[in-house]
Amino acid sequence: MRAALDRYLANALRNEWDAGCLVTRVLNEAVDFDVLNEAFGSLKQAVRTVADPQSLCEFVAGEGFVGDSSTYYALDNSRLDHLLTQRRGIPITLGVLYVELGRAAGLSMRGIGFPGHFLVGADDALIDPFTNCVIATDAWRAWLREHDLLAHAGVELTRAAPDDIALRMLNNAKRVLFGRSDNSAVATALDVVDCQLALGGDAVALHLERAELWRRLGSIAGVRAALTDARDATTDPSVRAAMDARIASIPRLPTPTSH
């Protein structure tokens, strides 16, 4: 995972697809990117006949891609390899697909981190990647009004940077992993959190999550190290004091005795 993360961060031209590939690698160590890129390359060749957002939606739908309503919260739905083989996904993985395919067709594309539902901007249109539909302006403004978000419309419809997309995809995966208790899920969750730290996520909150994961694995040393990192990640005196109190409450490992 670390090598993939280092390559991603070293790429000054990284895009939304790169972000999705990073998350895929974190969640599936065995992913074969040669196979994935070959399958995706075929789609990028075929999409070049698309001329507008509506025909892009029709192309994606025609290839069998659609939102996964039946197993929406499945961990696999955060992986691009799963998306390409099963043709099912959640808004953000489908959105990453849309952005890259739209660009291959010559459209101006951007991912949009809309509250609760990832959208895609294509030229001057909005696309819901989950339903393969162009969204009418009146429809999304009505949604904003209903959820008291109309004042933030301009901000909410700005482009989501690749790192922000990766963080959001990792958050989706993390929610699933935190709901499981097997050690494999906990170990993967640690990789997810470590990746989020490298991408500039909330350091204190993420180190606290690491502490909880180490607790689940039964590692006192891991818990102590994570809480120490959380304390060192802030200058807020009250937070530092709270972390010191938690560190002090951790049982100490027995001192080895000589025989």
Q: Are 131 and 60 in contact (CB under 8 A)?
A: no
Assess if residue 183 is contained within a domain.
no
pLDDT reported for residue 155: 52
Check whether residue 35 and residue 152 sit in a common domain.
yes
Assess if residue 186 is contained within a domain.
no
For the full predicted model, state whether its pTM sits above 0.85: yes
- Last residue of some domain: 131, 156, 181? 156
Assess if residue 182 is contained within a domain.
no
pLDDT reported for residue 115: 75
Check whether residue 6 and residue 125 sit in a common domain.
yes
Of residues 34 and 147, more confidence is placed in 34
Check whether residue 119 and residue 240 sit in a common domain.
no
Residue 147 pLDDT more than 70?
A: no
Gap between the Cα atoms of 192 and 73, Å rounded:
16
Sorting pLDDT into bands at 50, 70 and 90, what band is 140?
confident
Of residues 33 and 253, more confidence is placed in 33
Q: In whole angstroms, how large is the CA radius of gyration of the chain?
A: 21
Check whether residue 107 and residue 207 sit in a common domain.
no
Sheet holding 109-112, edge to edge: 109-112, 119-122, 125-128, 133-135
Count: domains in the chain: 2
Average per-residue pLDDT in the chain? 93
- Mean predicted confidence (pLDDT) in 213-227: 97
pLDDT reported for residue 136: 79
Check whether residue 221 and residue 113 sit in a common domain.
no
Assess if residue 94 is contained within a domain.
yes
Assess if residue 40 is contained within a domain.
yes
Assess if residue 235 is contained within a domain.
yes
Check whether residue 143 and residue 237 sit in a common domain.
no
Residue 70 pLDDT more than 80?
A: yes
Q: Look up the domain containing 240 and give its range.
A: 202-248
Check whether residue 62 and residue 6 sit in a common domain.
yes
Check whether residue 125 and residue 222 sit in a common domain.
no
Check whether residue 122 and residue 235 sit in a common domain.
no
pLDDT reported for residue 145: 78
Check whether residue 131 and residue 232 sit in a common domain.
no
Check whether residue 13 and residue 138 sit in a common domain.
yes
Sorting pLDDT into bands at 50, 70 and 90, what band is 206?
very high
- Last residue of some domain: 156, 190, 222? 156
The position carrying tokens 């709901």 is: 179
Residue 150 pLDDT more than 90?
A: no
Residue 117 burial by Cβ neighbours in a 10 Å radius (0-12, 13-18, 19+): middle
- Last residue of some domain: 123, 156, 189? 156
Assess if residue 192 is contained within a domain.
no
Check whether residue 33 and residue 141 sit in a common domain.
yes
